[in-house]
């Protein structure tokens, strides 16, 4: 897997920085002088976390996705609720679901020890998401940096703008288009479901009521997801290689083994069928497209310059 990564990392880097230029104020060299060891610190902390619990790679990746889809990649998802502040953690797509906050806290503490009040939580999350993918065998890419942290959060937007696991393909395409992402980006980014787990409440309807599903796969999933109860019971999004970042997710879709309704919508007689088949054939095209799409997603409405702040604690505004 590492040889594949190395063979096209330079190509992905060039494409991600040139074909899809980042916000003019973001740069991969933003902290070159002010925090030169930043990426080493993030990588080493993520490596320790994933060695303890491989699922955290998926958890951090999901955190980044849910952050960027709500008022841009500004670390708003990391803010805790207080008596006077309503964050996004208790929005319906996030409550009792998003996780990995302690890992970001640990990274932030380690970064602060080396470069006090310099690096944003938003940039730490962007780097951690990339490193989690790499550590689980996926592609790497250059992360443009220079985001600042929001002083606000938007629970209402989190409820309405984060795509639902129950959405059909037209709704998914529309939700991604609203963020400047194409249907190809949608299908590539959905490949993040090659790692991680989902709760029974999000796939119960699919395994009991839908017909475009492999009967044996459905039966296996029903064993741990009863018709009533067990809402938080977990199942791997990719049962073949649940902690390996590869293209098995797409092979599962070809065999009608997508766990979520929104997964199988990508291969259900619609516009993305051909692309799903291409991704299922090998990792090169998928890895390249995923890396490019991650850079594009990371460029959604960043706060830069004097906007926002550099939080000292990722959970609270300064």
If you average pLDDT over residues 152-173, what whole number do you get?
A: 97
Domains of the chain, by residue range, sit at 2-162, 169-288
Give the class (CATH, top level) of 169-288. Answer: mainly alpha
The verdict on pTM exceeding 0.85 is: yes
Residues marked as catalytic? 66
Residue 157 pLDDT exceeds 90: yes
Would you state the pLDDT for residue 19?
A: 45
Place of tokens 């604690």: 313
Residue 1 pLDDT exceeds 90: no
Would you state the pLDDT for residue 25?
A: 82
If you average pLDDT over residues 177-190, what whole number do you get?
A: 98
Mean pLDDT for the chain overall = 94
Q: Flag whether 220 is marked binding.
A: no
Tokens of 124: 């730490």
- Give CA–CA dist 95/88, Å, rounded: 8
Q: Flag whether 74 is marked binding.
A: yes
Residue 92 pLDDT exceeds 50: yes
Q: Flag whether 161 is marked binding.
A: no
Q: Flag whether 93 is marked binding.
A: no
Residue 6 pLDDT exceeds 50: no
pLDDT digits (tens, 9 = 90+) for 42-81: 999 999 999 999 999 999 999 999 999 999 999 999 999 9
Q: Quick count: other Cβ atoms within 10 Å of Cβ 20? A: 14
Terminal CA-CA length for the chain = 42
Q: Flag whether 76 is marked binding.
A: yes
The answer to whether the CB of 86 falls within 8 A of the CB of 155 is yes
Place of tokens 């959060």: 153
Q: Flag whether 72 is marked binding.
A: yes
Q: Flag whether 119 is marked binding.
A: no
pLDDT digits (tens, 9 = 90+) for 240-262: 999 999 999 999 999 999 999 99
Say which CATH architecture domain 2-162 belongs to: Orthogonal Bundle (1.10)
């Amino acid at each position: 897997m590492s040889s594949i990564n190395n063979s096209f990392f330079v190509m992905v880097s060039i494409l991600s920085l040139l074909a899809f230029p980042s916000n003019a104020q973001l740069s991969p060299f933003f902290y070159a002088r002010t925090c030169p060891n930043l990426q080493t610190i993030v990588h080493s902390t993520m490596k320790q976390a994933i060695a303890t619990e491989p699922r955290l790679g998926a958890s951090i990746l999901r955190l980044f996705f849910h952050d960027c889809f709500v008022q841009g990649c500004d670390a708003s998802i990391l803010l805790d609720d207080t008596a006077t502040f309503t964050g996004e953690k208790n929005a319906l797509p996030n409550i009792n679901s998003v996780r990995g906050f302690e890992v970001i806290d640990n990274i932030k503490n380690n970064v602060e020890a080396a470069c006090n009040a310099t690096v944003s939580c938003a940039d730490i999350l962007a780097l951690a998401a990339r490193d989690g993918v790499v550590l689980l065998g996926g592609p790497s890419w250059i992360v443009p940096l220079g985001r600042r942290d929001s002083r606000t959060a938007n629970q209402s937007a989190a409820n309405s703008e984060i795509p639902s696991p129950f959405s059909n393909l037209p709704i998914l395409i529309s939700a991604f288009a609203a963020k400047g992402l194409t249907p190809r980006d949608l299908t590539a980014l959905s490949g993040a479901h090659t790692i991680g787990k989902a709760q029974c409440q999000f796939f119960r309807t699919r395994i009991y009521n839908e017909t475009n599903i492999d009967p044996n796969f459905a039966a296996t999933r029903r064993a741990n997801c009863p018709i009533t109860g067990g809402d938080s019971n977990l199942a791997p999004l990719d049962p073949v290689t649940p902690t390996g970042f590869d293209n098995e997710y797409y092979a599962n879709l070809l065999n009608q083994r997508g766990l979520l309704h929104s997964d199988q919508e990508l291969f259900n007689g619609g516009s993305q069928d051909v692309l799903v088949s291409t991704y299922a054939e090998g990792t090169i095209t998928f890895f390249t497209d995923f890396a490019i799409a991650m850079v594009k997603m990371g460029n959604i409405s960043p706060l830069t310059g004097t906007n926002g702040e550099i939080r000292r604690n990722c959970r609270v505004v300064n």
